[in-house]
Amino acid sequence: MLTFALTIVRHGETQYNREKLLQGHGIDTPLSDTGHQQAAAAGLYLKDLHFTNVFASNLQRAIQTAEIILRHNLHSSKIEMVLDPLLRERGFGVAEGRPKEDLKNMANAAGQACRDYTPPGGETLDQVKMRFKKFLKSFYQRMLDEHAPPNQCSASCPGSSEPEPPVIAGLANDCVHGVPVHALIVSHGAFIRISVRHLVDELQCCLPPGLKMNQVFSPCPNTGISRFIFILRRAESGPQATHIHCVFVNRKDHLDDAK
């Protein structure tokens, strides 16, 4: 079994974000000047953490954000970054490149809530969730293969028992002190929101006391940071998460300094 931490960061601002235009995964825009500053602030906030694995969407706004975060990191600046198209933003079809207000109008015309509406040619929420599930399957296997070889780890390994509820002090290293395996993922707002909902609703992720559901499922700001603790075990059907604890969601303390 293996216990590891996962920190998820949304990419920094792009000009499309600033102008409230939809990007999806068909429009590959770079970070704006503000986005570079936000990514640097996130990197400074996370600089003392040791990431053993780094994954990013293969869109340039996510790649640039991950590169800047690693550049500021004191322990992981040389780590190899894995680019995975499964981590790309939700596809918004014909709405990509158009104002977000257009998507709201399209959803209203269809009699649906904006977050549930799929524009023509776009990805449904279930399709994005399936992408995340596919990523999780390969991600779990990679983490076990790299950090818990069968001949070196068993159910009696240190750190493989059920974790205590997270003690959150509002620090960058919340719940990762003493956890030697720590993955970083840099992705996108809608993708992260759907992924977090899957972890909470379907994988029974435990939430810290006082965290309300509307906070959990709120939109992630640019370079917003979320963290989870996983315990994995090997099974005949493939790797399984026996416990998942949410530490925090959409934290943006680092942006105060960026402003």
Pick out the residues of the known binding site for substrate. 10-17, 61, 100
Q: Are 42 and 65 in contact (CB under 8 A)?
A: yes
Give the Cα separation of 229 and 23 in Å (integer). Answer: 30
E-state strands within the chain:
2-10, 53-56, 81-83, 182-187, 225-233, 240-251
Specify whether the CB–CB gap between 23 and 14 falls below 8 A: yes
Binding positions are: 10-17, 61, 100
| Cβ–Cβ < 8 Å for 12, 36 | yes
| Residue in 89, 182, 188, 243 annotated catalytic | 89
Write the secondary structure of 155-196 as one string of H (helix), E (strand) and C (coil). Answer: CCCCCCCCCCCCCCCCCCCCCCCCCCCEEEEEECHHHHHHHH
CA atoms 158, 160, 165, 168: torsion sign: positive
Name residues whose C-beta falls within 8 Å of residue 105's C-beta, 6 or more positions apart in sequence.
Answer: none
- Active site annotation includes 177: no
Residue with tokens 């790797």: 239
The answer to whether the beta carbons of residues 28 and 109 sit under 8 Å apart is: no
CB 68 within 8 A of CB 43: yes
CA angle at 196 for the pair 120 and 162, rounded to the nearest 5°: 155
Residue 89 known to be catalytic? yes
Beta carbons of 188 and 31 less than 8 angstroms apart:
no
Catalytic residues, which ones?
11, 89
